Amino acid sequence: MSDLLGRNYQPGEDIVTEGEVGDCMYVIQQGSAEVIRTEDGVATVVDTMVAGDLFGEMAILEHTVRSSTVRAVDPVRALTIDRKTFLRRIQEDPSLALSILDVMCRRVRNLDTTIAHLKHQLAELSANPEGGSPDGSPGENAP
């Protein structure tokens, strides 16, 4: 694996850390990683990434800090994509942005599903405060 493209991360190692300034995005070449968001000191896994998945694009586009932590689950090999390279190519070939839009669309759709799911569970909880949720815990990520 040492001769292959990208950089290697050990299981548990952070690829990006929430709150840090970033100027690149990542494509996973091998392995899988969790997207972890910390809210009020509680870390929640919000998504899982596998080979071919792209992440970290928000920091490139928005020029803000990383919104969540991405942590290797098993040994991960990931390739970084520089902001400069990426933006320069997008200038030349705007259709390249389509692949980023694809990623973001999928993510928004996932988010919608999760929100709907959570709202539904909240409504059930407030209607029937005694009984537990009939299916799964509220913290579980939507499919």
Amino acid identity at 23: D
Kindly state the DSSP code that residue 138 receives in the 8-state scheme. T
At closest approach, how far in Å is the CB of 52 from another protein?
5
For another protein, which residue of 12, 42, 95, 129 counts as binding (CB under 8 A)? Answer: 95
State which residue, 82 or 135, has the beta carbon closest to another protein.
82
For another protein, which residue of 80, 110, 114, 133 counts as binding (CB under 8 A)? Answer: 80
State which residue, 27 or 43, has the beta carbon closest to another protein.
27
Contact between 77 and 23 (Cβ < 8 Å) = no
126 sits near another protein (criterion: CB under 8 A): no
Half-sphere exposure of residue 65: CA atoms within 13 angstroms, side-chain side: 6
101 sits near another protein (criterion: CB under 8 A): no
Contact between 125 and 115 (Cβ < 8 Å) = no
Residue appearing with tokens 């942590």:
71
At closest approach, how far in Å is the CB of 28 from another protein?
9
For another protein, which residue of 19, 44, 89, 123 counts as binding (CB under 8 A)? Answer: 89
Kindly compute the dihedral angle of the four CA atoms of residues 48, 62, 37, 24, in this order, to the nearest 10 degrees.
60
- Whole-angstrom distance, CA of residue 124 vs CA of residue 12: 36
- Whole-angstrom distance, CA of residue 129 vs CA of residue 109: 29
For another protein, which residue of 13, 20, 74, 82 counts as binding (CB under 8 A)? Answer: 82
* Site of interaction with another protein (CB under 8 A): 2-7, 27, 29-30, 51-52, 54, 79-82, 85-86, 89, 92-93, 95-96, 99-100
